[in-house]
Amino acid sequence: MLKLSLRNVVVGALLVSLVLLPIYAQLAHDRFMLTLFTRILILGMAAVSLNLILGFGGMMSFGHAAYLGIGGYAVGMLAHEHIYSGFIQWPVAILASALFALVIGALSLRTRGVYFIMITLAFAQMAYYIVSGISRYGGDDGLTIYKRSEFIAPLNLSDKTQFYYVCLALLYGSIYLTWRLINSRFGMAIQGARSNALRMRAIGFPTYRYRLVAFVISGTLCGLAGALLANHTDFVSPAMMYWTRSGDLIIMVVLGGMGSAAGPLVGAVALLLLEETLSGITEYWQIILGPLLLLVVLFARGGIDGMLNTLGAKLRTKVRA
Amino acid sequence: MSEPFSDKAMLQVDNLAKRFGGIVATDDLSLTVAPGELHAIIGPNGAGKTTLIAQLSGQLKPDSGRIHFGGADITALSMHKRSALGLARSFQITSLFLDLSALDNAALAVQAHAGHSFHFWRDARGEAELRDPARAAITRVGLANRADEPASSLSHGEHRLLELAMALSGKPRMLLLDEPMAGLGPDESARMVEMLRALKQEYTILLVEHDMEAVFALADRITVLVYGRVIASGRPDEIRANEQVREAYLGEAEVEGGPHV
């Protein structure tokens, strides 16, 4: 099924490198690297979840960070009430974000284009202000989590390497899930609705329900990423769901490439590493990042993923010639 | 008001009306299409032909009147439900899934009628249940060698054929074809006429078409619309001989140097 192409080789190499990374970090005594990459994995998972609706479903959700926040706060609030079991925290995070996605999706999917973008943004900002206002859980200042989610021994999320691998497994699971979904009948239906919604209805598809289910799956996965993020930072705050965070997720998807299940992970790695290196060079790193993103959008329509595809095709014709 | 439903009709339209502001697009329109018949709708530009197709397919809701299909009142049904009953529509302006392959386009049309699409795991492109009928439809219209190309890379003529393949993929009982010949060259047109002649043996067809030569060659019955109103309906020879039609439509066409009879 999978072809040997430049793109697949690069993505494959990335996936393998991420598995080996903790070993390297251990050998190089680079603890920071593990922390940085755990963050990349978690936000990568959020971007992968966004791509299911943005890239494949054509639904430009500008409020995806809300699910990060909801998943994160589910963990934070329960921990604050001394409920530490991950078997309670994580299902609550998943259910809460699924429910939120169902309500938001049911309302916003009746609109299209700019209206859809604005409605998803508005709901996310609403969630942001609601959380900012709950003083019991820290309000604006956020909430420190003193104990990470507890599972059965020997699984211990406070162990950085173990936590890294939990994040990695869930990320790869999300990519695999997305890949299965987009190639299934369900995936064909949502891609058809992206491509030509009128025609979909004319040939007999009730598109709304498929788009809604995709929206809920996407929000739920992102909520799970939120639960991971809360455990990673040992802290939740309204900033987790601020609209600029939603923007970051969109950038990861566009930068990495919307055309493949793993593209957003490539985007997350590229964006966060760029951010990390550039901010080490200058305080005004965004002045460099901005034009770089512009170049990608202008000259590489399919993001890094698309760039690799074009490059691979060129190499192939050269080899043949 | 409306006439009793005739059980001989595949499609029966009674007193259909549709206005857009002050413009009357469909004016007390009634028409009957018998099973197995190829019924052509002709009329000058702005006669309301596409508006009629849109109301029959469910894209537009009529202001009043009733539509029966295969004995059932479908006036209030949504587009996808009408399609599920076997009423397939092709579009005047090509409306495809351009970023999917030609075969994927047809396979989606098959999938639309293969139960619900809440199948999340199995590879849809590997399902014979979807691919085989899609491939048959693609082959039927002569696009077999282009099946795996993205629809965006097909020519205009091939797009028209793919439109037709998609309409066929849903195992329809009746085809609503909105100007399948639009924009085709003479050779492609001839090919399309042959295709429709063959399809006519199997399907009931409502054909909206500007190409008069094709219409008079194919149609069992012709209905002439002017300003949303039926001015004549009958066999091709009757229409050809009809004074009113000559005045209202064919005469005008001759003046424009347009389609000839």
The ipTM is 0.86
Query: How many helices, marked H, and strands, marked E, lie in chain B?
Result: 10, 10
**A10-29: b (≥16 Cβ within 10 Å) or e:** bbeeeeeebeebbeebeeee
Contact A203 B91 (CB under 8 A): no
Instruction: Report the percent of chain A where pLDDT is more than 70.
Output: 99
pLDDT tens-digit map of B172-213:
999 999 999 988 888 889 989 999 999 999 999 999 998 888
Structure tokens at A215: 């929206």
pLDDT of residue B154 exceeding 70, the answer is: yes
Contacts of B170 in chain A (CB under 8 A): 203-204
**What per-residue confidence (pLDDT) applies to B45?**
83
Q: Is B121's Cβ below 8 Å from some Cβ in A? A: yes
pLDDT tens-digit map of B4-51:
455 579 999 999 999 998 889 999 999 999 999 999 999 888 889 999
Give the 3-state secondary structure of residue B93: coil
Instruction: Give strand pairing partners of B32.
Output: B12
pLDDT tens-digit map of A170-226:
999 999 999 999 999 999 999 999 999 988 988 889 999 999 999 999 999 999 999
Q: Give the minimum alpha-carbon distance from A194 to chain B in angstroms, rounded to a whole number.
A: 9
**Contacts of residue A280, Cβ cutoff 8 Å, sequence gap at least 6:** none
Distances, alpha carbon A202 to alpha carbons A30, B25, B59, B61, in Å: 58, 21, 8, 14
pTM above 0.90, yes or no: no
Pairing, β B204-208 against β B38-42: parallel
pLDDT of residue B221 exceeding 60, the answer is: yes
pLDDT class of A2 with cuts at 50, 70, 90: low
Structure tokens at B203: 């399907």
pLDDT class of B257 with cuts at 50, 70, 90: very low
pLDDT tens-digit map of A222-248:
999 999 999 999 999 999 999 999 999
Contact A186 B98 (CB under 8 A): no
- Phi-psi region for residue B51, left (φ > 0), alpha (ψ -120 to 50) or beta? alpha
Q: Give the minimum alpha-carbon distance from A213 to chain B in angstroms, rounded to a whole number.
A: 9
Q: Is B109's Cβ below 8 Å from some Cβ in A? A: yes
Q: Give the minimum alpha-carbon distance from B101 to chain A in angstroms, rounded to a whole number.
A: 11
pLDDT class of A162 with cuts at 50, 70, 90: very high
In this complex, the residue of A180, A189, A202 whose CB is nearest that of residue B89 is: A202
Measure the CA–CA gap between A41 and A231, rounded to whole angstroms. Answer: 13
Chain CA centroid to CA A132, Å = 23
pLDDT of residue B164 exceeding 80, the answer is: yes
**What per-residue confidence (pLDDT) applies to A5?**
86
Question: Is residue B249 exposed (0-12), middle (13-18) or buried (19+ Cβ within 10 Å)?
Answer: buried
Measure the CA–CA gap between B47 and B91, rounded to whole angstroms. Answer: 17
pLDDT of residue A293 exceeding 60, the answer is: yes
Contacts 24+ apart (CB under 8 A), B190-196: B191/B142, B192/B160, B192/B161, B192/B164, B193/B217, B193/B218, B195/B141, B195/B142, B195/B161, B195/B164, B196/B38
